[in-house]
Structure formats: C-alpha cells, structure tokens
C-alpha cells in the first residue's frame, strides 16, 4: 500500500500553503519526495481558479481587502471560492497510479471520501448531476478544485465545518449564481470539532485512495518552508 503522510498545519496563509504544495509536487515529480495530505485552514481569502470570470466576484478587490479578505488568482481548476477559519482545506499531493489516471474519477473519489466522512457525523450528503462538489440537497457543503501535473495532484477540497458562511456572499461560488452554501455546523446546529473532522477525512481518504495515511510531522517550522 502507498504510504502517505498527513500534515496538520493549523491556520496557514494561502500563499504560504501554495508554495509548500508546489515544493511537495516538485519533489514528488522528481522522485525524491513522498505523498502527502496537507490539512489546514486559511485566513479569509478568495481564490480565483482558472475558469473565474469578472462575474465571479460580487465585490471589488479593494473593498474586500478592507474587510481583511485577500483575493488571489491561483492555478487550480474551477471558479471562485472562499476559504476562511472554520473551513477544513485538504490538499492531497498524490502521484496517481496508472489505474487512477482519470481526472474525473479523481474528483469523484475526493467527493466520495467527503460524503463518507460527512456520513460519519450523521450528515447525509451527495452529488448533484452536472455539478462538482458535495451537496446537501441544493446547498453546497464542500468544493473541489484540482491541478494535476504529470499525474501528481495538488490543490484539493474545502469542506465547510464551522465556516462563517456570510463570506460567500462576496462571490458567486464556483460560478453558480445564487448557489446556497452550508456547513456542518449549520446542518447539525452545533459547532463541530475540527480535529474530529480531520480524523474522519483522513480515514475516508485512506480507504478510498487505498493509501496508508499516517500522521506526518506537524510542521511548526512553517517559516522554514517559506524560506
């Protein structure tokens, strides 16, 4: 079984996490690194994927900055999304085996892992035809945006655990106008322990991707990877 380390990084600014991911991807591509699953939260930030358009932002970047929300253009697939405290962000850095080299299947597998993890908390979630992400009826609870390079994956998913959903009002989430967002907290009516969600996410991703995901070193030298 492929061994993969889970890194629980706490709250990390988007740019730093981006640099870390890129390093891990480069290492894995060159054969010197190992697979990783990065778990973290970001400070308030709106990221624009490759398919983002002018309509994706419902507020101008300057006034967003005033509210402490950074806007960053990034190189994953998908449209605009919001990340912030209370949202579990997972970045699997996997080198997909030949039988897994199907980008749609990869996205579906991520969705499936999240659906199962949500079920562990008694939340019944699923997919919506023609749309990516994880949904509870018409409300979206998790988003997916991926980049693949030489079959090494980066970027990943964002699951609303205790997210302040009002921040989604700044964007058209994933380019879907009027798309309503939800969170585990909203569904269950109580704040959910981030640690327990991470635990279930790791367990379900291990199961679906057939990997032994073990807790790696928790990098407190966050400054070290940003050089």
Partner 1 sequence: MSVDVIMPQMGESVAEGTLVKWLKQVGEKIERDEPLFEISTDKVDAEIPSPAEGILLEILVPEGETVPINTVVARIAAEEEAGVKPAPAAPAAPESEPVSATAQTKPADVTPVEGPKAAAAPASGRVTPIEEKERARVSPLVRKIAEEHGVDPTLVRGTGTGGRVTKKDILKYIVAKRTAPLTQAAPAVQAPSPPGPPPITFAGDERVIREPMSIMRKKIAEHMVMSGRTSAHVCTVFEVDMSNVVKRRDALKAEFEREGVKLTYLPFIIQAVVRGLKEVPIMNASIEGDSILYKRDINIGIAVALDWGLIVPVIKHADQMNLLGLARAAVDLADRARTKRLSVEEVQDGTFTITNPGVYGSLFGAPIISQPQVGIMDVGAITKRPVVVDDAIAIRPMVYISLSFDHRLIDGAVADQFMVVVKRDLQKPQKCD
Q: Can 174 be counted among the known catalytic residues?
A: yes
- Binding flag, residue 156, partner 1 (CB under 8 A): no
One of 31, 98, 178, 217 touching partner 1 (CB under 8 A):
217
Least distance in Å: CB of 116 to partner 1?
14
Of 165-184, binders to partner 1 (CB under 8 A) are none
Where are the extended beta strands (E) located within the chain? 2-11, 35-41, 45-48, 70-73, 80-83, 87-93, 126-128, 131-136, 139-149, 152-160, 180-181, 211-215
Write out the two tokens for 221: 């030298």
Residue holding tokens 């679906």?
208
- Binding flag, residue 127, partner 1 (CB under 8 A): no
Q: Which is nearer to partner 1, 107 or 125 (CB)?
A: 107
- Binding flag, residue 74, partner 1 (CB under 8 A): yes
- Angle made by CA atoms 60, 64, 67, in degrees to the nearest 5: 155
Of 4, 154, 174, 179, catalytic: 174
Of 17-36, binders to partner 1 (CB under 8 A) are 18-19, 22, 26
Tell me the C-alpha distance between 44 and 85, whole Å: 7
- Binding flag, residue 164, partner 1 (CB under 8 A): no
Tell me the C-alpha distance between 135 and 149, whole Å: 28
Of 91-110, binders to partner 1 (CB under 8 A) are 101-107
For the annotated catalytic residues, the residue numbers are 174
């Amino acid at each position: 079984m492929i061994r993969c380390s889970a890194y629980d990084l706490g709250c990390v600014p988007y740019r730093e996490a981006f640099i870390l991911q890129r390093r891990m991807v480069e290492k894995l591509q060159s054969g010197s690194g190992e697979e990783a699953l990065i778990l973290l939260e970001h400070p308030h930030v709106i990221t624009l994927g490759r398919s983002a358009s002018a309509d994706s932002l419902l507020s101008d970047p300057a006034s967003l900055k005033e509210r402490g929300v950074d806007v960053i253009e990034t190189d994953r697939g998908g449209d605009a999304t919001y990340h912030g405290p209370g949202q579990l962000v997972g970045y699997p850095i996997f080198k997909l085996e030949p039988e897994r080299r199907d980008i749609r299947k990869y996205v579906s597998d991520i969705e499936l892992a999240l659906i199962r993890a949500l079920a562990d908390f008694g939340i019944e979630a699923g997919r919506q035809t023609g749309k990516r992400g994880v949904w509870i009826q018409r409300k979206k609870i998790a988003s997916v945006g991926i980049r693949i390079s030489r079959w090494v994956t980066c970027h990943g998913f964002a699951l609303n655990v205790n997210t302040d959903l009002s921040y989604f009002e700044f964007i058209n989430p994933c380019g879907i106008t009027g798309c309503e967002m939800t969170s585990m907290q909203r569904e269950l009516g109580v704040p959910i322990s981030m640690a327990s969600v991470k635990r279930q996410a790791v367990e379900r991703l291990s199961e679906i991707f057939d990997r032994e995901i073990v807790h790696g070193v928790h990098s407190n030298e966050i400054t070290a990877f940003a050089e």
